[in-house]
Structures are given as C-alpha cells and as structure tokens.
Amino acid sequence: MTAKSTQVQVSLGDRSYPISIGSDEIFNADIGRYISGKKVLIVTNETIAPLYLERLEQQLTDKQVSRVILADGEQYKNLDTLNLIFDQLIGDHHDRKTTLIALGGGVVGDMTGFAAASYQRGVAFIQIPTTLLAQVDSSVGGKTAVNHPMGKNMIGAFYQPQAVIIDTDTLSTLPDREFYAGLAEVIKYGLIVDADFFQWLENNVDLLLQRDKRALAYAIELSCVSKARIVAEDETEQGIRAILNLGHTFGHAIETFQQYKQWIHGEAVAAGMVMAAELSVISGDLSEADLHRIKDLLARCSLPITPPADMQPDDFTGLMIRDKKVLDGQLRLVLLKRLGEATVTGQFSIDHLNQVLIKACISK
C-alpha cells in the first residue's frame, strides 16, 4: 500500500483507458491530457457541486467549461433530466470534439455516460466518481443508462470513458450509510473472484471503517483490478460479466418491493449476497464456515444480512422472475462455488431456493 497515485488499465483494444486512484487525484491526475478539444461540460448535482466543482474547474482553466447541476437522487435518473444535459450541450454549441465530465456518484455517472454515448452520436467523457460504490463499480466498465417509469436502467448503452479519475479524498464527505453500501460492492469482489482479498478485508475492516486513506486506496485498487479484468473479458455481458451481479437478483427484488424508497442498493445487495451464499451452501458448494465469515464481515460493515422484515418468500419469487438474467423464462442466479469463485447458473433446485427464502424470511 502506498499513498501515491495508482493506475489500473481497462484493456479493451482501441477503447482501453486508465483508472487513476489517489489522494487529491482531481489535482494530481492532469485531467487535461484526456481532453482533446477546447470545450468541456461538467455534469454534477446540487450536493456535489458545492463540495468539488470548484476544485475540478481549477484544473481546466485552459478549456471552455460549461456546467450543468442536476437535482440529487435516483428519482431524477430519467429522460427528463438527460434532456437538461442535452439542452446545455446544444445551447452552449458543444460539437463533436467536446468532452463531458461526470462528477458524482453512480446516478450522475450513468446519466453523463449515456448523454456522451448519444450526443451527436457519441462524444468523449471522463468519470470522476465521488461515492465508494461509483469508485469500485459504476464508473468502470461502460454501462450507462437512465431509468424508465417501468424499469431501472432500461434505456442505455455500453459506452466506455476516456479515463476514470478516483480522488479518494472525496470519500471524506460521503455519508456513512452510502459508505457502507459501497463496502458491500467491495466485499463482492472478494466473494466472486478473490478469496485473498476477502481475507484482507476481514483483517482490515476496522481501518476501512475509519476511512483510512491507504487502506481505502488499496481496497479500491483491488476492486478496480477485478472489475477491469472481468470487463475486458466480457464487455457486453454475454457471459462471465454477470458474476458482478452476485446478490443482485435478490437485492433488486428487495429494492423493487420497497419501490426504491427504503434500503439503498448496496444494502439490498448485502442481504442478497447472503441469500445467494445460503443457496450455495445448500447446493453443496460453499462451506457453512465460509457462509459465517461472509455474514460476519457484512455485519461488521453495518450492512443487513437478512431481508426486510415485511418481505415474504412469495414477494421474492414474484419479483425475481423479472430479472434481466432470466433467459427463455428460466431464472439464473450467481452462486458461489467456493469463496472467491462464482458461477452464473440456472442449475439449482427450486426446492432449495424456496428453503433459502423461507429461512431468510423467518430469521429476521
């Protein structure tokens, strides 16, 4: 672990790009080198603008910079808000050489990426993620989207940024609840591809919870290394990339059940990862001892390990069948072969799934 900046490469041929991770990286990354034209549009929101917009603009004094400051919240991740970005781009005469910069969490990043993918059929964009979740997951890999009233992330594109600049200092202002939710996604990488990292997380969770900068930079780097490797192998999710959705089928059922109004994404994913792990145990793969380690680590991060009290097994089954991984009517889930190895499979017993749902719903 070092305090200086670290680079991770996302290798996608002529769409490859660096992820630059470090303290005060907004200043240190020399962002201008990723911008080929004169014009820049910074997209951020009303919470993040007062915290970090000025710092970013100070790095772009040789560019013509416009900004659009969006309302804060998942409920604004829609076509109406996207149109505000296009209004600004067209109103300020941005052309095909322009670069968009997303300064914010996953909501700002997903919308800015989709705006960049579609404005004049595609312009450059840079991700500057400011939540832990966005730093370890949403800013990397090129999934961009807005929501539709009938479904989350229904309208979007795979579109890769020029660079991802991760300034770990921005995490100092992140509310605890958002920070813990990001840790769920960090733990996910240990579970799906890196058992050593899981063990490192067990040993260093107290440092992470104190937001120790070196520990955080290391956890973010290892998470990005795993994500970059999976994305390089399967950019458009034809197969292996789906393992990044461990716990998400259960988690999305929770979020949908609550109409996105109670638990935040990482919390729902945490409870969902435990349910996926329970099914992995009952299917004869994961050991009971490892299941306990998973629950223990998530609980130490103040994350839920059982579903919401008012959810019943039928609520899950009714909602899980709408998952994007359902193919030809068959539910597929991400399960653990062991700690550090995941698989996407439709080969599990429905009886076992029902047992897991019943156990989870009565153990709350």
CB count within 10 Å of CB 15 equals 14
Active site residue 241: yes
Judged by beta carbon, residue 39 or residue 143, the one nearer ligand NAD is 143
Q: Are 71 and 45 in contact (CB under 8 A)?
A: yes
- 53 DSSP 8-state letter: I
Please give the residues from 321 up to 340 whose contact with ligand GLY meets the rule CB under 6 A. none
CB of 78 to ligand GLY, least distance (A): 20
Active site residue 221: no
Q: Which two tokens mark 19?
A: 């992820």
Active site residue 227: yes
CA–chain centroid gap for 22, Å, is 19
Set 227, 293, 295, 332: catalytic member: 227
Q: Which two tokens mark 34?
A: 């990723």
285 lines the binding site for ligand NAD (CB under 6 A): no
Judged by beta carbon, residue 52 or residue 180, the one nearer ligand GLY is 180
CB of 186 to ligand GLY, least distance (A): 13
Set 4, 33, 54, 121: catalytic member: 121
Which of ligand GLY, ligand NAD, none binds 241 (CB below 5-8 Å, type-dependent)?
Answer: ligand GLY
Q: If we measure between CA atoms, which residue out of 83, 148, 135, 71 comes closest to residue 109?
A: 135
Please give the residues from 130 up to 149 whose contact with ligand NAD meets the rule CB under 6 A. 130-131, 133-134, 137-138, 141, 143
267 lines the binding site for ligand NAD (CB under 6 A): no
Q: What is the DSSP string of 38-50?
A: SEEEEEEETTTII
Give me the amino acid identity at 133: L
Q: Which two tokens mark 47?
A: 């919470």
Interface residue with ligand GLY, options 39, 77, 143, 293 (CB under 6 A): 143
- Give residues with Cβ within 8 angstroms of 163, minimum separation 6: 17, 18, 19, 20, 29, 31, 34, 126, 127
Interface residue with ligand GLY, options 106, 109, 113, 141 (CB under 6 A): 141
CB of 343 to ligand GLY, least distance (A): 16
How far is it, in rounded angstroms, from Cα 217 to Cα 3? 8
| Residues that contact ligand GLY, how many (by CB under 6 A) | 5
Set 185, 221, 235, 278: catalytic member: 185
Active site residue 143: yes
75 lines the binding site for ligand NAD (CB under 6 A): no
Active site residue 265: yes
- Give residues with Cβ within 8 angstroms of 134, minimum separation 6: 104, 105, 106, 109, 127, 182
Contacting residues toward ligand GLY, per CB under 6 A: 137, 141, 143, 241, 244
